[in-house]
Chains A and B, each alone.
Chain A
């Protein structure tokens, strides 16, 4: 990928030269019509004497009006690439051994802060992942938009206000006046992201860097936002660099795509070609790791063991050795794929209703309530997976909390093996376990993992340390972790490994019912595939019942026997997974399904 020319030019730019003799660079910079051109760029992070190579010579170009995707896992260097275009990385912590970054044929690396300030927000603007933190919580939208507009354009406040309202209504915001005067916390996540995009477009930029702009949003909102972004970019002939880990989003939106892996660009080309006929092993593996379009419950191919190991140090997925736990008393797994409606339901919800107090009177007694879960009826049979799908705020997490006893029902009943769950006794506490979404916060950072994994075993008993450590080793084997690692602390593990630890902890007390609260949504695609494989293997082996809560339709389709779609606290549709997700009957389910970007649909449209 390194042309002789780029080598020469790179050699010419010593660190010293870059800051002192900017003009010499201009003569060597190749003339082009690209809005953005990155040439053989390497970037190292330096912290406390350690050098981390974040980028290892990447080349990339984007021309006007193009939407270009940059795909890769976390840590692949895609965000660093974007931040470096605006020189937003701390200069004392990075070193650029070679390479150039030019925006509109001007070398960004040689610019001083004053010149950069003109580019930032003016010619190049950025949209961040988390609109809550990207907007200033103490300023109204008006002030924040003014700040950007007035800095880059010489116009009066009146004109700026007019322009802002125009931009907001361009973003299909129904009531731009209200949004204009609102504080960020008064807006929903999707609305905040619209404001962010409106601000990004406010100074007629030539290039927009969008760093996972919809990852924090619900699918239905995501679809709207992505369409808006594309529409505005086409209308204004703005180039967009879309950074994402979601191949389906890329397929739907981008003309061209770059695939990044460990600081290198391993493949690039037209989206259709790259995703339709991937050449590089990593791209292929990434596509194969997607649950989409695969036989439900089949093992997903994980990104080749070699690549994973070199990338994250994580062991290849799967249950390797199947040592049964002592006195497990588990029934042997029965007929493998016939899980649907077998025998008695292990868990039932009858008219389950959860209300949260909304207003309090003077004495702190609630006077009005908000209904989070509204007369939900569900039943889960032994050994099957029931998924609850819905957007955030639909009540699925509130429901999960009542199942494990973190919240109580206002009405109705939850039954476990025919018994009322109201008073969680010792048996139900043991047999119903939960795996949380965020493996960062679900493990005590100060505890070694053997202690974490065996914590449930210490309830009411005092097993010896040796027993606990032995059990922890077995659990590690079971969830595919190295049993020698039980003395390490959680921060020494990657996200996927931590989720394995959390699953191990849940398994320590031989549960019958596992509540999985978005267990893969904080993980990369390839790691997600490993965790899904692990969950399916464990279900096969121990005949577990899963109550799976997710907003990711592809994952749900892959893992579920039955699906219940939840909307505003109510179950609007339920039935066999295949039927509900392929032939949705309820209007909301259809909206949900249509919103999900899929490779299939993207190609059909193209």
Chain B
């Protein structure tokens, strides 16, 4: 850099201090990206609440105190107020978070597994197997989610397991589509051909070359899909076909709040706020991962 002996006006760009300063600025900017910081703080908060929720609840979320019905936000002992049965909303919101997270996480993992497996199979197998998998995926996507969920609940009944299975078995389409699209393009690359020619077996190619290539996208979808599942779970509970009645979940809390909307608006605002916060967090995390993947991709995939 310093070897350039250019006329005066060139000094601005090659001044070593300038270069260092610019370098630092870009580095700092990289790490102090406001969005990532906010996402990180929110994410850590949610994880802490989900894991240590038991000890952070101030009351038993199921146990009401009829003397303390409709306590407003900020009432002593009731940080976020209480509901029509005098149950502490903070404790219920935390319990709801645990339920929602457990539900969305399990369903998401089931989605990831089914979708990725089918996507890889469709990308690898040509001919009728691919056609069947793709048609099946299209069929799944065309199913009206709510109606299927209602049918499942009617047949199997309420509860965590039916809810997770409904979400898990019905909403993997996005994973399948992305895996299929990216894996198909990787299967066309010469390095996969080279491996195939050398006699590397199908599974070694699939798990050695193809899956790692799709991985970054899967992380991103995992975060965004998580947010979608949180909403779906709350919606089902709100409609009374998700969590059993009485179980403290955000959806149930919203459903209960309807009758007291004017009397105790905080009954609505607390679970609604919780849902919004959780969904925004997961979306921000998704953005963050996508950004990292892009940055990595630029240097690796050319």
Q: Is B193 positioned at the interface, with any CB of A under 8 Å from its CB?
A: yes
Known A-B contacts A48-B26, A51-B19, A95-B13; the reply to A446 vs B300 at CB < 8 A is yes
Stretch at the interface among A60-68, A180-188, A427-435, A576-584: A427-435
Known A-B contacts A49-B22, A433-B197, A458-B204; the reply to A15 vs B190 at CB < 8 A is no
A50 touches B6 (CB 8 A): no
Within 8 A of B (CB), among A79-97: 95, 97
Bound Cα distance A438, B302 (Å):
13
Q: Is A591 positioned at the interface, with any CB of B under 8 Å from its CB?
A: no
Q: Is A169 positioned at the interface, with any CB of B under 8 Å from its CB?
A: no
Stretch at the interface among A5-13, A269-277, A300-308, A472-480: A5-13
Of A11, A44, A444, the residue contacting B13 (CB under 8 A) is: A44
Within 8 A of B (CB), among A207-221: none
Shortest beta-carbon distance from A52 to chain B in Å: 10
Of B10, B24, B191, B299, the residue contacting A443 (CB under 8 A) is: B191
Bound Cα distance A446, B199 (Å):
20
Residues of A within 8 Å of B, CB-based: how many? 49
B13 touches A46 (CB 8 A): yes
Q: Is B213 positioned at the interface, with any CB of A under 8 Å from its CB?
A: yes
Of B23, B198, B300, the residue contacting A456 (CB under 8 A) is: B198
Across-interface contacts of B19 in A (CB, < 8 A): 49-51
Across-interface contacts of A512 in B (CB, < 8 A): none
Across-interface contacts of A404 in B (CB, < 8 A): 197
Known A-B contacts A56-B4, A445-B301, A489-B300; the reply to A406 vs B9 at CB < 8 A is no
A491 touches B190 (CB 8 A): no
Q: Is A42 positioned at the interface, with any CB of B under 8 Å from its CB?
A: yes
Across-interface contacts of A15 in B (CB, < 8 A): 9, 12
Q: Is B155 positioned at the interface, with any CB of A under 8 Å from its CB?
A: no
Bound Cα distance A112, B7 (Å):
24
Q: Is A349 positioned at the interface, with any CB of B under 8 Å from its CB?
A: no
- Among A97, A404, A405, A430, max chain B CB count under 10 A is at A97
Bound Cα distance A491, B301 (Å):
8
Bound Cα distance A299, B213 (Å):
40
Q: Is B76 positioned at the interface, with any CB of A under 8 Å from its CB?
A: no
Within 8 A of B (CB), among A402-452: 404-406, 424, 426, 429-430, 432-434, 436, 438, 440-446, 452
A98 touches B7 (CB 8 A): yes
Bound Cα distance A12, B23 (Å):
29
Shortest beta-carbon distance from B132 to chain A in Å: 12
Across-interface contacts of B200 in A (CB, < 8 A): 455-456, 458-459
Of B9, B14, B299, B301, the residue contacting A51 (CB under 8 A) is: B14
Considering the complex, give the chain B residue whose CB is closest to the CB of A9.
B7
Known A-B contacts A436-B190, A459-B199; the reply to A49 vs B13 at CB < 8 A is no
Across-interface contacts of B142 in A (CB, < 8 A): none
Shortest beta-carbon distance from A116 to chain B in Å: 22
Q: Is A14 positioned at the interface, with any CB of B under 8 Å from its CB?
A: yes
Across-interface contacts of B12 in A (CB, < 8 A): 15, 95
Q: Is B32 positioned at the interface, with any CB of A under 8 Å from its CB?
A: no
B209 touches A98 (CB 8 A): no
Contact with B along A369-401 (1 / 0, CB 8 A): 000000000000000000000000000000000
Shortest beta-carbon distance from B294 to chain A in Å: 14
Bound Cα distance A455, B208 (Å):
10
Bound Cα distance A364, B10 (Å):
66
Known A-B contacts A49-B26, A53-B4, A443-B191; the reply to A429 vs B213 at CB < 8 A is no
Within 8 A of A (CB), among B201-216: 201, 204, 209, 212-213
Of A42, A46, A51, A509, the residue contacting B198 (CB under 8 A) is: A509
Across-interface contacts of A364 in B (CB, < 8 A): 131
Main secondary structure of the interface of B (DSSP, over half): helix
Bound Cα distance A364, B26 (Å):
55
Q: Is B8 positioned at the interface, with any CB of A under 8 Å from its CB?
A: yes
Across-interface contacts of B209 in A (CB, < 8 A): 444
- Among B7, B299, B300, max chain A CB count under 10 A is at B7
Q: Is A505 positioned at the interface, with any CB of B under 8 Å from its CB?
A: yes
Q: Is A460 positioned at the interface, with any CB of B under 8 Å from its CB?
A: yes
B9 touches A429 (CB 8 A): no
Shortest beta-carbon distance from B217 to chain A in Å: 13
A50 touches B23 (CB 8 A): yes
Of A42, A432, A436, A445, the residue contacting B300 (CB under 8 A) is: A445
Bound Cα distance A347, B196 (Å):
21
Considering the complex, give the chain B residue whose CB is closest to the CB of A403.
B197
Contact with A along B15-26 (1 / 0, CB 8 A): 000011011111
Considering the complex, give the chain B residue whose CB is closest to the CB of A435.
B194
A442 touches B191 (CB 8 A): yes
Known A-B contacts A442-B190, A446-B300; the reply to A42 vs B197 at CB < 8 A is no
Across-interface contacts of A441 in B (CB, < 8 A): 189-191
Q: Is B195 positioned at the interface, with any CB of A under 8 Å from its CB?
A: yes
Shortest beta-carbon distance from A519 to chain B in Å: 12
B190 touches A438 (CB 8 A): yes
Considering the complex, give the chain A residue whose CB is closest to the CB of B209.
A444
Known A-B contacts A14-B8, A97-B6, A489-B300; the reply to A429 vs B199 at CB < 8 A is yes
Known A-B contacts A97-B13, A434-B197; the reply to A10 vs B190 at CB < 8 A is no
Shortest beta-carbon distance from A1 to chain B in Å: 14
Shortest beta-carbon distance from A574 to chain B in Å: 25
Considering the complex, give the chain B residue whose CB is closest to the CB of A46.
B13
Bound Cα distance A333, B8 (Å):
63
Shortest beta-carbon distance from B192 to chain A in Å: 8
Of A14, A44, A433, the residue contacting B9 (CB under 8 A) is: A14
Of B10, B194, B204, the residue contacting A97 (CB under 8 A) is: B10
Shortest beta-carbon distance from B84 to chain A in Å: 56
Across-interface contacts of A438 in B (CB, < 8 A): 190
Q: Is B262 positioned at the interface, with any CB of A under 8 Å from its CB?
A: no
Shortest beta-carbon distance from A502 to chain B in Å: 8
B197 touches A406 (CB 8 A): yes
Considering the complex, give the chain B residue whose CB is closest to the CB of A57.
B6
Within 8 A of B (CB), among A504-536: 505, 509
Across-interface contacts of B20 in A (CB, < 8 A): 49
Shortest beta-carbon distance from A236 to chain B in Å: 39
A49 touches B23 (CB 8 A): yes
Bound Cα distance A405, B194 (Å):
11
Across-interface contacts of A446 in B (CB, < 8 A): 212-213, 300
Shortest beta-carbon distance from A19 to chain B in Å: 12
Considering the complex, give the chain A residue whose CB is closest to the CB of B300.
A445
Bound Cα distance A310, B6 (Å):
22
Bound Cα distance A509, B213 (Å):
26
Known A-B contacts A42-B6, A49-B26; the reply to A440 vs B302 at CB < 8 A is yes
26 contacts between A and B (CB under 8 A): A10-B7, A11-B8, A14-B8, A15-B12, A44-B14, A48-B23, A48-B26, A49-B20, A51-B19, A95-B12, A97-B6, A97-B14, A406-B193, A406-B197, A424-B199, A433-B197, A434-B193, A440-B302, A442-B194, A446-B213, A455-B195, A456-B198, A456-B199, A458-B204, A459-B201, A491-B300
Besides A7-B7, A430-B199, A491-B300, 6 new A-B residue pairs in contact (Cβ under 8 A), listed by A number: A50-B23, A98-B10, A405-B197, A440-B302, A445-B300, A445-B302
> Which A residues have a C-beta under 8 Å from some C-beta of B?
7, 10-11, 13-15, 42, 44, 46, 48-51, 53, 56, 95, 97-98, 364, 404-406, 424, 426, 429-430, 432-434, 436, 438, 440-446, 452, 455-456, 458-460, 489, 491, 502, 505, 509
Q: Top 5 closest A-B pairs, CB basis?
A: A97-B10, A49-B23, A456-B198, A442-B190, A14-B9
